[in-house]
Amino acid sequence: MAKTVVPGEARQRRRRTKQGQVLSHELIVETALRMLGEHGAEGLTARRLGLGLGADASAVYRYFNGMDDLVLAIADELMSRAMEHWRPGGDWRADLRDLGLRIHAAYLAHPQAAVLTANRVSGRPHEVAADEAILATLRTAGFTDRAAVRIYHVFIDQSLAFAALDAASIAMPVPAQRVDEEVWQATYARLPQVTHPHIAASAELLVERMNLSAYPDALELLLVAADAELGAAGVG
């Protein structure tokens, strides 16, 4: 049987936690982000959260309908941080470029949380606000509704997919990261031209690029393609 979530002002704890803080939705989400950073997804438990908050583990369930509800709140918090300082400037390509990079950066700032939440649809206020902003930017630029939805779909999935991919690399233990980074220099750069002519010809550039995120270039390719589509439709 699902536990009752205490609404509104009744959620506020009358006494402070052992750390001297008043328990709140925001404090639990912030503490959960810290727990994820320190222990990974497997370490995000009600018991560990209770210890981190200086409160009984059951207190979490006064604010959330279970741990999955908390995960969705974390997803919305990451989107909130991405949107916090974004303001449209009127150039749709510049606006979407800026927003995409902000989403990517907000998730990479909390890589363990990104891996846990990038594939989730929370339906919560900040996620909805981001979706509205993206669609507004595209429709205002002159895209048809069908085109706007298709480009929005590619834009948001690409942003979150790269966030999850890059976050997974950051979340790996440092020795494993170094091993992966060294493969391009230790293996690919040493492949002989006679057996792998195209890799050999590109080896220096592969070493230079392949440990960097491809997201900025992928985002730019999407925007260029969308702009060409808009131009072909005689808009802009």
DSSP type of residue 62: G
Residue 193 located in a structural domain:
yes
Residue 92 located in a structural domain:
yes
Residue 186 located in a structural domain:
yes
Residue 209 located in a structural domain:
yes
- The answer to whether the beta carbons of residues 188 and 199 sit under 8 Å apart is yes
Q: How far apart are CA 128 and CA 121, in angstroms?
A: 10
Q: How far apart are CA 99 and CA 144, in angstroms?
A: 21
**One domain, residues 101 and 132:** yes
Q: Which residues contact 166 (CB under 8 A, 6 or more apart)?
A: 104, 108, 111, 213, 215
CATH code for position 156: 1.10.357.10
Within 13 Å and on the Cβ side, how many CA atoms surround 176? 6
What are 108's two structure tokens?
């990479």
Predicted pLDDT of residue 56: 87
Percent of the chain whose pLDDT exceeds 70? 90
**One domain, residues 59 and 93:** no
Residue 73 located in a structural domain:
no
**One domain, residues 146 and 37:** no
Confidence band for 13, pLDDT divided at 50, 70 and 90: very low
**One domain, residues 59 and 91:** no
**One domain, residues 42 and 99:** no
Nearest to 207 by CA among 173, 234, 181: 181
Confidence band for 1, pLDDT divided at 50, 70 and 90: very low
pLDDT averaged over every residue in the chain: 90
Predicted pLDDT of residue 183: 93
pLDDT tens, position by position, 51-83: 988 888 888 888 999 999 999 999 999 999 999
Range of the domain at 34: 8-65
Residue 170 located in a structural domain:
yes
pTM: 0.87
**One domain, residues 48 and 95:** no
Domains in the chain, number: 2
- The answer to whether the beta carbons of residues 61 and 47 sit under 8 Å apart is no
